[in-house]
A and B are shown apart, each in its own frame.
Chain A
Amino acid sequence: MQKASLLRTTISAPEFGPFVLLVLELAVFYVINPEFLSVLNIGNTLTFTVELGLIALAMTLLMTAGEFDLSVGSLFGFAPVVMWTLFNAGWTSLAVAFVISLVIAALIGLVNGLFVTRLKIPSFLVTLGMLLVARGTALFVTDGFPQRTWSAGGQWIANLLVGDFYIGPLRVYASLFWFVAAAVILGYVLTQSKYGNWIQATGGNPVAAQARGVHVSTVKVALFILTAVMSSFAGIISSIRTSAANPNSGSGYELEVIAMVVIGGTALTGGRGTILGTVLGILILRVMRNGIVLIGVPGLAYNIFIGAIILGMMALHSWLERRHQAGT
């Protein structure tokens, strides 16, 4: 193997394609409508982006370990319903209700993980079942009606989670910092820590990993728990910001999140994952959604672009992968 130049290494990195696409997107939208890069629009785009992004970050680790979770969207709707129901009924303070709903989310993640690792049922089926259980519970508990959330104002926990403030003219929610912190921590875990090595080995070759003493099942269960908790956390943040705990919210997010992760270069089959790529994938999809509306394309056409991006990026990643393997 010859020494690859810095340029070559950069170009063959899985994050390079998504990076170019994002820059291209930004340039095109800006040229067509300069409003696109206005402070107001950047603030608006970031707000929901980071909420969905929290789920995608956790999903990146889970998918690197060779599993995925379809129940994230329903937990996004379920967790706030639990929290607000407990709070509105006057049983606990909002902070305690927040903790309880995250604990319930962790238990749901644990159940997902145990079904996958102990009963050897594919995660597609397990988490599809959990999707229906969580969504159904949220609908049943609320009779299908949104929960009262107006009392969030003045709660310290609400301010901590999604308090807003201005950096110059840019309105920023605290959730942006949660997202950045999660990206930095999970990026560190995946690339620098020994757990990252275990996660990649678990997805890449579970038999070999197990033989080296890596507890493959524990790794998977932990990541299912992480994903469930992050989804619920994101749902709660969103519900406080929008003052709405709708039992139906989060429908379809699971697919958008998985799309974000694979566009960024994480392998659907496991073994290879990148947090940086996922951050790019998150931005690509959300900027696309925001941008096409801003330049006057009907919002209903959104899915055409998203589908095209997924197909294009998958083709690129598969081409890079084959070129990479060509040396064997």
Chain B
Amino acid sequence: MAEDLIRMEHINKFFGRVQALDDVNFRVRRQEIVGLLGDNGAGKSTLIKVLSGALHATSGDIYVRGKRVEMRSTTDAIAEGIETIYQDSALVTQLSIARNLFLGREPIRGPHFLNRMDSARMDGVAGDLLRRVGIGKAIPASTPISSLSGGERQAVAIARAMYFDSDLIILDEPTNNLGVAETQGVLRFVRNARDSGHSCIFIAHNIHHVFQVVDRIVVMRRGKIVADDIDPKATSVAEVERVITGDFSGPPH
């Protein structure tokens, strides 16, 4: 069994008197795709926000590669190699694909004090990356994000996470509002990312999408992890649905 990339131990999170996370223990191994499932309000998003630095846990510890870390901001998380991809929100639509990929880490050409972006290199690297994640035949790296489809935007965000060697890529509802072909595209990008050495956490409402791609399913309910090690190959969708709703009397609805 591969070593743990991420360990979250005894995580509690209160919003006022409401407990959103209740003694959560969660881990992600290297080169593993974890599906995180749960109904609305189960605590998935809160857990992910704590891990990606957007929220601070009330108590508990986070270990990355065995080392205890403080996540004060999303910038801290990115520095630790944890990249979160929210639908649409992670890209600047007015900027080109290449400029988005290198935003905040632009390569410089010429005298340093001029801070001139190396556009040729940015376009070149971006083109290679787009081909690697599986799009790029027809899309030049200078295309603004605003003229890309939802799936292509996800691909750009995933390509960026791969290029900057994020060990963990968190995808929050990456297949929402996507067509069938685009969803398959995103699932393929996720597999490609795992096969090139990255771990992923995949959050989706559509259990079928999760089943197609993940190695392990974790289920949350009312702020707690209620199932930690569901093997999608040995479990049915209906069984997982019952774990999610907590209704073991029969099929839901």
Q: Does the CB pair A1–B140 fall under 8 Å?
A: yes
- Chain B contact residues: helix, strand, loop or mixed: loop
Please tell me which stretch of B60-68, B100-108, B180-188 contacts chain A, meaning at least 4 of its Cβ atoms lie within 8 angstroms of it: B100-108
Chain B residue nearest to A192 in the complex (CB):
B116
CB neighbours of A5 from chain B (8 A)? none
CB neighbours of B104 from chain A (8 A)? 198, 209, 212-214
CB neighbours of B114 from chain A (8 A)? 193
Instruction: Say whether B147 faces chain A, with CB atoms less than 8 Å apart.
Output: yes
Q: Does the CB pair A328–B149 fall under 8 Å?
A: yes
Chain B residue nearest to A206 in the complex (CB):
B92
Binary flags per residue of B103-123, CB closer than 8 Å to A gives 1, else 0: 111101000001111000000
Q: Does the CB pair A201–B92 fall under 8 Å?
A: yes
CB neighbours of A205 from chain B (8 A)? 89, 91-93
Q: Does the CB pair A1–B92 fall under 8 Å?
A: no
Which residues 69-93 in B have Cβ within 8 Å of A in the complex?
Answer: 74-75, 78, 84, 89-93
Q: Does the CB pair A201–B103 fall under 8 Å?
A: yes
Point out the residue from A1, A194, A198, A272 that lies within 8 Å of B147, measured CB to CB.
A1
Interface size on B, residues (CB 8 A): 30
Q: Does the CB pair B106–A197 fall under 8 Å?
A: yes
Instruction: Say whether A231 faces chain B, with CB atoms less than 8 Å apart.
Output: no
Point out the residue from A193, A203, A207, A213 that lies within 8 Å of B115, measured CB to CB.
A193
Point out the residue from A194, A198, A210, A327 that lies within 8 Å of B74, measured CB to CB.
A210
CB neighbours of A194 from chain B (8 A)? 106, 108, 115-117
CB neighbours of B93 from chain A (8 A)? 204-205, 271
CA distance A24 to B90 in the complex (A): 42
A sample of 21 cross-chain residue pairs with beta-carbon separation below 8 angstroms, ordered by A number, consists of: A192-B116, A194-B106, A194-B117, A195-B115, A198-B103, A198-B104, A200-B95, A200-B99, A201-B92, A204-B94, A205-B91, A205-B93, A208-B89, A208-B92, A209-B103, A212-B103, A213-B105, A214-B103, A271-B93, A324-B146, A327-B147
Q: Beyond the given A194-B117, A208-B92, could you list 18 further A-B residue pairs with CB under 8 A, ordered by the A residue number?
A: A1-B139, A1-B143, A1-B147, A192-B116, A193-B114, A194-B108, A197-B95, A197-B102, A197-B106, A205-B92, A209-B103, A209-B104, A211-B78, A212-B104, A212-B105, A213-B104, A325-B147, A328-B149
- Residue numbers of A with Cβ under 8 A of B are 1, 192-198, 200-201, 203-205, 207-214, 271-272, 324-325, 327-328
